[in-house]
């Protein structure tokens, strides 16, 4: 089955809470179906592409987007319910900054070249949402890179430069040209599209159906 892997292109941003939950739902499904045919590739999509490089205060950012603090609490209620179902933790009071995520996406790109893309995505998301770390800080990103097996010192040097900034911008533009306008978006085998944080049960059905289809098509 693994010889006929199906690419799953995932468009996400590390500061998208539904991307964090959606990844957790998918992870649970993949753990339950060891024979899954998926080869996962992560693609950049910045929720705040115009964010200043140093980021901004999170409360100010949320109030600008949702208005009152009461509205902020209300929009987080369904998110936290899904997070509990997915088995991921959020420590919202610990998050003080809304970062520019361009450097995070550069790091995810480099991790992909080393075969460590999915672990890198997961570690950055957890650092932000569950630990309140400033993932717009190059030193923080370099340390997280080291935790998943990349060269932390080399990563920090690369982050000080402009390498692959244009590459990330071009890939994000391609994503939007492809019709991606919200995250998370999952495109399976360049044919099937799932949007939003799909429950584990949905992913199990998708995996089973695609695995059966591949088996039927096998020579």
Task: Delimit the domains of the chain by residue range.
Answer: 2-217
Options 3.40.50.1110, 3.40.30.10, 3.30.300.30, 3.40.50.1260; CATH for 2-217 is 3.40.30.10
Tokens 């610990």 label which residue? 94
Q: What pLDDT is recorded for position 5?
A: 82
Contact, 14 vs 101, CB < 8 A? yes
Q: Which residue has the tokens 């929009």?
A: 75
**Cα→Cα distances 208→118, 142, 196, 204, 205, Å:** 22, 38, 20, 6, 5
What integer pLDDT is reported at residue 55 of this predicted model? Answer: 97
Provide the H-helix boundaries in 134-199. 138-147, 152-160, 165-177
pLDDT of residue 1: 39
Spatial contact of 86 and 21, defined as CB atoms under 8 Å apart: yes
> Where do we find the tokens 């992870």?
27
Q: pLDDT tens digits, the chain, 219 residues: what are they? A: 345 689 999 999 999 999 999 999 999 999 999 889 899 999 999 999 999 999 999 999 999 999 988 999 999 999 999 999 999 999 999 999 999 999 999 999 999 999 999 999 999 999 999 999 999 999 999 999 999 999 999 999 999 999 999 999 999 999 999 899 999 999 999 999 999 999 999 999 999 998 888 777 766
Who contacts 160 (Cβ-Cβ below 8 Å, separation ≥6)? 138
- Identify the pLDDT of residue 3: 52
Tokens of 92: 């919202």
Tell me the DSSP string of 75-117: HHHHHHHHHHHHT----GGG--EE---HHHHHHHHHHHHTT-H
- Give the pair of three-digit tokens for residue 132: 């309140």
């Amino acid at each position: 089955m693994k010889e006929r892997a199906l690419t799953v292109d995932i468009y996400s941003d590390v500061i998208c809470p539904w991307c964090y939950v959606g990844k957790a739902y998918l992870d649970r499904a993949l753990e339950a179906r060891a024979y899954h045919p998926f080869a996962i590739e992560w693609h950049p999509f910045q929720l705040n592409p115009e964010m200043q490089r140093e980021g901004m205060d999170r409360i100010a950012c949320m109030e600008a987007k949702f208005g009152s603090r009461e509205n902020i609490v209300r929009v987080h209620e369904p998110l936290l319910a899904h997070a509990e179902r997915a088995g991921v933790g959020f420590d919202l009071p610990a998050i003080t900054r809304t970062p520019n995520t361009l450097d995070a996406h550069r790091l995810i790109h480099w991790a992909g070249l080393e075969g460590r893309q999915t672990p890198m995505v997961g570690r950055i998301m957890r650092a932000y949402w569950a630990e309140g770390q400033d993932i717009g800080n190059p030193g923080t990103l370099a340390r997280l890179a080291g935790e998943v097996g990349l060269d932390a010192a080399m990563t920090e040097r690369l982050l000080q430069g402009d390498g692959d900034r244009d590459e990330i911008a071009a890939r994000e533009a391609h994503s939007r040209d492809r019709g991606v306008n919200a995250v998370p978006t999952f495109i399976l085998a360049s044919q099937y599209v799932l949007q939003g944080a799909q429950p584990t049960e949905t992913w199990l059905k998708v995996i089973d159906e695609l695995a059966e289809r591949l088996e039927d098509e096998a020579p």
